[in-house]
């Protein structure tokens, strides 16, 4: 199948999920700054950022590509903190 939904795309990627998140979103900063841009919601290639009604952001680190785009795109200093997951964990590309 050539045309695929995002869910179908994500099913082709292998992840070894670490016990602790390597990306932390501080929703207080999103809320307090009144961030309306919500860049993270749009740019994340894995679609891992979910906007909440209260202005916060719900984030799921488990299917992260570790690309760093959210961190680069976010214009609220300190809202996204990230490092790499522990060695051997996280995304494992096989084909790309």
Partner 1 sequence: MNAPAASESFDVIVVGAGPAGSTAALLCARAGLQVLLLERGEYPGAKNVSGAAFYGSAILNELIPNWWEQAPVERYICRRDIAFMSPTTSVALDFHCAGEGYTTPPYNGFIVLRPRFDRWLAAQAEAAGAFLLTSTVVDDVLRDDRGRVIGVRVRREQGDIRGKVVIACDGVNSFLAKKVGLQREFHAHELSLGVKEVLGLDPALIEDRFRLSGDEGIAYEYLGAITEDVHGGAFLYTNRDSLSLGVIGQVSSLVERRKRPYELLERFKAHPAVAPLVRGGKLREYSAHLIPESGWTMQPTLYTDGMLVAGDAAGFCLAAGLYLEGMNYAMQSGLAAAETAIDACRQNRFSARALSAYRKNLKRRNVSTDFRAYRHAPAFVNSARLQNLYPEVVASGMEQLFRVDGNPKRKILPLARHLMRQYQLKPGEMLRDGYQMMRAYLW
What's 30-61 look like in SS3? HHHCCCCCCHHHHHCCCCCEEECCCCCEEECC
CA pair distance 80, 42, nearest whole angstrom: 15
From 2, 19, 20, 53, residue interacting with partner 1 (rule: CB under 8 A): 2
CA pair distance 22, 86, nearest whole angstrom: 8
Is residue 15 a contact residue for partner 1 (CB under 8 A)? no
In the window 40-69, what residues touch partner 1 (CB under 8 A)?
42-43, 45-47, 65-69
Residues near partner 1 (CB under 8 A): 1-4, 6, 8-10, 12-13, 16, 37, 39, 42-43, 45-47, 65-69, 72-73, 83-88, 90-96
């Amino acid at each position: 199948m050539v045309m695929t939904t995002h869910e179908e795309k994500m099913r082709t990627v292998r992840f070894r999920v670490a016990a602790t998140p390597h990306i932390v979103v501080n929703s207080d900063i999103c809320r307090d700054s009144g961030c309306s841009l919500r860049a993270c919601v749009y740019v994340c290639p894995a679609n891992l950022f979910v906007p909440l009604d209260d202005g916060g952001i719900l984030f799921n680190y488990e299917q992260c590509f570790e690309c760093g785009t959210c961190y680069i795109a976010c214009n609220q200093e300190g809202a996204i903190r990230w490092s790499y997951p522990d060695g051997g964990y996280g995304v494992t590309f096989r084909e790309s």
